[in-house]
Structure 1
């Protein structure tokens, strides 16, 4: 971002990334996580160790001023979940959504454990890793994050009303639309909308037309309020409706039972007979494409979990601020840029454009 920008964000974000890195300095291998989930499915353990929860926060390499710009250098990551959703023709299978949900709830729980709310959860702000970490979900973009409690006393921020909408309207909680100060329950409700978006392909309040941004927010709010949880989740396992009912039952300063939310999805995962093998929908698509272009003599096999071969080709780096007609944080100025791992047509990582 331009060093002279009126409201600089990168310094704030760099400090928050460093705070979150307090529990994620060590690499947690896919094998470690896979073994851990196997133990969960055998009911030998019930809760994540803090190291597993903290995985998925990018490491900051450097923050400083270079010429006329504030610069934040962090781990190079892979495509966002929005990129991958589009690659999969804008529909994800129940298995993929449940595997993502488990990691995403962990990310939100860890974020909250550090006394911060994200306040702008959306598919663009969850990225997959690269290489050995290609199956790991990362949470990014903390420009709208807000501290909700004192680190020492755990005193919660006060309840307030008449607040402006903060975040992306498509995924904002109902209370956020109603002008109520956000708390932990709102991040979790936003995550629920993301999961239904992946399953359904769209949400009922998408594509609404209005003359102004304010009018559009109002139309989205009206549609969201008038759409019952049962209607939103109709045709999908009851666990998704249970998730929303739980989130909306929470009081402003309640600590959510993250373990309960993970358990209902894990129980569904086991009941469906799925294996936590990190074979996402895009893994299969990538493998199928590789077979179409592979020489006839090439032996068949499954794509290696946790390798860049498991990433889809043809995805380009997308502007994380694109499509913000439904809210979210706009770029602070035209100089602000984020680069992530783009893939060329053969599925190989190429250097980001600066």
Structure 2
């Protein structure tokens, strides 16, 4: 026995707005009609077709839908033949009220047509949840009456808005007799045509599958940052004399270093001037006598450096 994942009912309820896209709905319809066709091919009818009895596979089989729960399935052919068994006069209600066929409501024998009728209710619900006007009703008579209206062409607005190919499927299912062999290919053709009208891509993944399409590659080129040239400050000589003492007050050691370099490079003077112009702390909280003493000391050091540089 193979393990499977969530049912279509659970998956749909977990979708945004609790609904599938048109493309996914049609793809689900195509796979589920194939599953029903395969069951009919071996001589059985399911009699309880509904979203809860279809589940998706696990992992790499998440795009495969499985038909489950054959607890009330019935063989409709005579043993060892393909001849259809004669219907019984009365039968008990078999199935789920929301998806049960009209014949099931009337306590009549079910056939392949009834599985397809339950299937179309399920499909309509996938296409638009508002299609099933009896969804919240538990009154079997009322539900059957609403289903009769649908097959009489009295469509609710949600169904009327669907492509005409869906209406053709409804009419076709209604035309089938007890022993009729359904044309499953016709149903699938109508589904595909309706998808084309809605521009639905049937090659895309189901809504519940993660999008693994390759994302655009990020550029591997190293980011280049623009180098901003430092602006050169033309410092008049007189400004140096006027401001050097103030600079010394807030950063004496740095001032000495730059002042010493100034004798050999004018770039140092620019740095010294920038250092002064960007400082917000020129007093350093020192008393005037302390500042005067430091200024004299620094001036002497600068003079000494200048004298040595000129030798």
Give CA deviations for 1:246-292 in whole Å, capped at 9, x if unaligned: 11101100100111111111222234443332422233xx55xx9xx
Q: Which residue of 2 aligns with 1:104?
A: 32
**Conserved? CA contact 1:116–1:147, under 8 Å:** yes
Q: Which residue of 2 aligns with 1:208?
A: 137
Q: Which residue of 1 aligns with 2:140?
A: 217
Structure in which a larger fraction of residues adopt helix: 2
**Higher RCO (Cα < 8 Å, 6 or more apart):** 1
Q: Which residue of 1 aligns with 2:174?
A: 248
Give CA deviations for 1:198-229 in whole Å, capped at 9, x if unaligned: 122241112226xxxxxx22232233224444
Give CA deviations for 1:172-203 in whole Å, capped at 9, x if unaligned: 11122122200000001110000111122241
Q: Which residue of 2 aligns with 1:33?
A: none
Give CA deviations for 1:105-125 in whole Å, capped at 9, x if unaligned: 100000000100000010010
Q: Which residue of 2 aligns with 1:87?
A: 14
**Conserved? CA contact 2:5–2:55, under 8 Å:** yes
Give CA deviations for 1:286-339 in whole Å, capped at 9, x if unaligned: 55xx9xxxxxxxx847xxxxxxxxxxxxxxxxxxxxxxxxxxxxxxxxxxxxxx
Give CA deviations for 1:133-182 in whole Å, capped at 9, x if unaligned: 11011110000100000253222111234322101110111122122200
Task: Quickly say closer, same or farther: Cα 1:222–1:270, change in 2 above 3 A.
Answer: closer
Match of 1:274 among 180, 183, 200: 200
Normalising by structure 1, what TM-score?
A: 0.56
Distance 2:129 2:67 in 1: 22
Which secondary structure state, in structure 2, belongs to the residue aligned with residue 138 of structure 1?
A: strand
Q: What residue ranges of structure 2 are gaps of 5+ in the alignment? A: 217-311
Which secondary structure state, in structure 1, belongs to the residue aligned with residue 98 of structure 2?
A: helix
Q: Which residue of 2 aligns with 1:231?
A: 155
Q: Which residue of 1 aligns with 2:52?
A: 124
Task: Quickly say closer, same or farther: Cα 1:272–1:259, change in 2 above 3 A.
Answer: same
Superposition RMSD on alpha carbons, in Å? 2.0
Instruction: Report the count of equivalent residues.
Output: 210
Structure in which a larger fraction of residues adopt strand: 1
Q: Which residue of 1 aligns with 2:64?
A: 136
